[in-house]
Amino acid sequence: MNLTRLVLTVAALAQLAGADVMDRRLVYDSLRDVEPWQRRQWLAERGLQDYYKAQSWKPTTDSGLRCVGRWSYGPSVKVSLRTTSDDTIVCLARGSGASIIRFRSQDSLTLDLLSDINCNGIVSRAIMDDTLVYCGMNQGGTGIEVWGVSDPTSPHRLSYVYLLSIMDIAVKDTFLYATGYVQDSLRIFNVADPRNPVQVGACSDSGFPMCASGDYCYLADRGGVNIIDVSDPTNPHRVGKAGASGIALSVAVRDSLCFFGVDDVSLRVYNVKDPSTPFAVGSLAGVEAHDIYLPPSCDTVLYTPKLHVINITDPRNPRQVGFVDCPGWDYGVTAVPALNYALVADCFDGLAAINIKNPTAPSIDTFLFNAGLTEDVCVDQGKAYVAQHQAGLRILDVTNPASPYLLGQADTLGTRPSTHTAVARDSFAYVGWTGVPYFRSFDVRDPTRPEYSGGVDVINPPEDMVLRDSFAYVAELGCLQVVNVARPREPELVGICNTQDGTDFGLAVQDTLAFLISGMVEVINVAQPANPTIVSRAASFGTGIAVRDTFVYVPYGYDTLRVFSAANPKQLRLLGYAPLQSHTSDVALAESVALVSTVNGLEAFSLEDPAHPRWRAAISTPYGPRRVVYAAPYFYTVMSEAGVAIYSAESLGVEEQQTCLRATTGLRPQPNPVRSTFLLMSGMAEARVAELRDATGRVVSAAVVCRRTNQGLSLNVSKLAPGVYFVEVESDRGASSVKFVKQ
């Protein structure tokens, strides 16, 4: 988080979450840097208890926008498994999905991806129980989803239960126990028929993580572990509490012993044989127990995700006998002692397989399935180049948009680069990075093995980039920079323009003009890449921007899509706007459709009249989308923890609207580009040229000879210097403008 964002966040947190959508956006950004089990406390300490309620919504069905496919993966949070005499199947909860993985260790360790599950929200925990996977969602979408995995290569959704913000779940026999943040309660569902979960009981008690053992549920909470009697599922109620100073971060129970980790970096052991009067048995300091795995048999060890191996033969005196420090935030742990391995959900570094054959000296074998927070995407020749904060560059195959899959990635294990933007063309991708050089090029001729090939020291880490011809235009804190990538292995910084301070920049480039937005819109002349200069500024806060012809589309930071005219680049003129349903991030254009990303999802607008967008459709997403781009015929959006999604707007009648747009404007320059004379075909009666400007907004009408013909207006522009120009035509029916290029 840079200094500007930090200052803004502190200011926003001084208010309640409901005070302003901008405050909620800053909280949204900041929460990504807070570990999941600390988010509830983090919000409460800042008076933002209603945040999750404001950020939860029901998933919408097709309303003109259709989700074609998803790659749903972000930080790994929890891991569970199913072991039979023949096989071991692992379920890794990551981002807005879960991966089903076959684990083998006979001759050498192999982890084979069998299938992926795409959920409707951010997964807090996924539990594999026989041939079922139960998923709890802590934000967006459905609260609980049940999936059938009798064939682990082909999971299918059986049912879902809409609830706000499920923080943890536990499954025992035919009952599912769910604890939520917004509801602040424990709910019990009968899942004897997994296609129709039925709530049978609830009680107003809080806590997560949780576990179920015997006739009781154990909820980790502030001050220890709440013990809930669930022997009668229709009447759950608290019967006791295993107390401790601080916040309980994890809990596991076997027989009459309850083990839980506390945020003072300790492990506590309580006797809960009589749940109404639990008492302390022992403790161990120096243990980061964000999760606990107790083997189901009477093993004498337990495991925490760091990885601590703890001997509990004498629960009065638990002893650490082995330790290995995984590099990331370690969220979840499970183990297969019979196969000599523990598995750790290691956040951005994915799934860590740890050899525990010698429990006194565990060792990391491998990491797989790593992913970060998805910030940007560029699509080129059937491949999506994805910038992931904390996980670098990912390359997806999107030739079949219904089933995008990972081709390759830049090796970032343990380094966690702050990557916010990526662009690509042909054999090279250009990526913003943490650490010098901030601008890096990768050889992607073999997309399964992208190789770092060169870089250049731009001033700050790039926040958005646009690739045009042999130049990469780089938006970052305090400046726009131009990098020559004609020689991709030796990128060269050729131009710098000092711009506004700010954060989360958006950038669009058209011809010789760049449009930069953060706290305002800045129009920058890049006709001379070595000397970019600011042409004009306009007040309009935002983080995304798109340009077509003389129209500039800005999702205004609060709740509107604004449309400006750039016919005179020296003075942007507000033409119109359209209301949005929530705070916005970005906009992309496809023919006559604009797609806007918001905190709650995507909204589509028709541009039959480009100056006055008309709302057409909306669809919710698992997490508030960031960037959105168009690569015909699909829109691609990135959703931070929830990965990448691909959408179709086909049913909005794009082709028909495009025809309508042409009929409305009625201007068609022929030929274009032009060397001397061109014919401006116009459907407007008695049309006349009102004004002609160059790309900087300077009026150059005097250098043009115009005469009327039977076919339209003939313009002789032989005296104009080569460049991009805009001609505005007026008639009794109104005015319109068109762009042409003078060679």
Q: What is the pLDDT of residue 316?
A: 94
Question: What is the mean pLDDT of the segment spanning 463-472?
Answer: 94
- Confidence at residue 299, expressed as pLDDT on a 0 to 100 scale: 74
Domain chopping of the chain, boundaries = 3-54, 74-368, 373-661, 667-742
What is the spatial distance between Cα 648 and Cα 650, in angstroms, rounded to a whole number?
Answer: 5
Band (664; pLDDT cuts 50, 70, 90): very low
**What one-letter code names the amino acid at 10?**
V
The alpha-carbon radius of gyration of the chain (Å, integer) is: 29
What DSSP state is assigned to residue 45?
A: H
Least confident of 350-354, 366-370, 495-499, 679-683: 679-683
Token pair 């609207």 is found at: 657
Please say whether the beta carbons of 500 and 517 come within 8 A. Answer: no
Closest CA to 468 of 573, 547, 397, 412: 547
Would you state the pLDDT for residue 446? 96
- pTM of the predicted model as reported, rounded to 2 decimal places: 0.83
DSSP 43: H
Q: What is the mean pLDDT of residues 343-370?
A: 91
CATH class assigned to 373-661: mainly beta
592 confidence band (pLDDT: 50, 70, 90):
confident
190 with 175: CB under 8 angstroms? yes
Range picked from 59-63, 179-183, 328-332, 437-441 for highest mean pLDDT? 437-441
β-strand pairing of 628-631 with 634-638: antiparallel
Is 2.60.40.10 the CATH number for 667-742?
A: yes
Encode 363-403 in three state secondary structure: EEEEEECCCCEEEEEEEECCEEEEEEECCEEEEEECCCCCC
Domain 74-368: CATH class, spelled out: mainly beta
Read off the pLDDT of residues 410-422 as tens digits, 9 standing for 90 and up.
Answer: 877 667 788 999 9
Give the torsion through C-alpha atoms of 17, 18, 22, 25, to 10 deg: 50
- Average confidence score pLDDT of the chain: 85
Give yes or no on whether 74-368 and 373-661 have one common fold: yes
Q: Treating both helix axes as pointing N-terminal to C-terminal, what angle do 21-31 and 3-13 enclose, rounded to 10 degrees?
A: 120
Q: Round to whole Å and give the CA distance between 276 and 268.
A: 18
